[in-house]
Amino acid sequence: MTSWTKRLAGAMAALALSAGIAAATEIRIVNEADYGGARAEAVVSSLMQPINPFVAGQAGNTTSIAQIGTGHSVNSSIEGHSSASLIAQEGTRNRAVQAIEGSNSALLLVQSGTNNNVLQASRGDNNFQLVGVSGSNNDVGYVQVGNNLAGVLDVRNSHNTTVVAFQTNQSRNFLMPTGISGLNNAAVVIVPGKMYVLPKR
């Protein structure tokens, strides 16, 4: 993972944790079994199927970026083979960063709205991410470190919300937290074993 990706991931984590410190007495903790069990595996596996031809074998990498609107910014980086970076953005002043270090992995982003920021990073092989974001003034970071990790983050219809997810081989292989769409003025931190939901001050 490149140094700029690490810096951005660190900044987003600090933002989420600072919100948690300000509202420590109002933390809601969700056990990992509630968002990483059999249902998550079934749904995420079905979403992975259409992308499988792009991430199989020893083929080249695929990058696809589609933007509609004004003031968008995108950065995509792949180191490895048979991986895919796919970004679709519309709206105003949305920013996206995708970074893959490894092989046979896919990062997908569908983003709309205004002034949203998304970081997706994968270090390892056979990983998959699908992130959906809409609304305004949201910061979303999804970082995978390990192999055979897959997940979906649905942060649509949210406003002034920060979501940071760290998935490793100490997590379940499939991650699909519910209840993180439609949030307002909230911070969500997902780490192996727990998900913390905190109101922002």
| Residue 85 reports pLDDT greater than 70 | yes
pLDDT tier, 109 (very low <50, low <70, confident <90, very high otherwise)? very high
Tell me the residue range of the domain where 120 lies.
3-137+146-199
Report the pLDDT averaged over residues 119-144: 97
b (16+ CB within 10 A) / e for 59-96: eebbeebebeeeebebbbbbebebbbbbbbbebebbbb
pTM of the model: 0.87
| φ and ψ of 26, to 5 deg | -120, 25
Highest mean pLDDT among 6-10, 103-107, 196-200: 103-107
How many folded domains does the chain comprise? 1
pLDDT digits (tens, 9 = 90+) for 157-200: 999 999 999 999 988 899 998 888 999 999 998 988 888 888 88
171: exposed, middle or buried (C-beta count within 10 Å: 0-12, 13-18, 19+)? Answer: buried
Question: Using the 8-state DSSP alphabet, how is residue 112 labeled?
Answer: -
Q: Higher pLDDT residue, 30 or 193?
A: 193
pLDDT tier, 20 (very low <50, low <70, confident <90, very high otherwise)? very low
pLDDT for the residue 25: 41
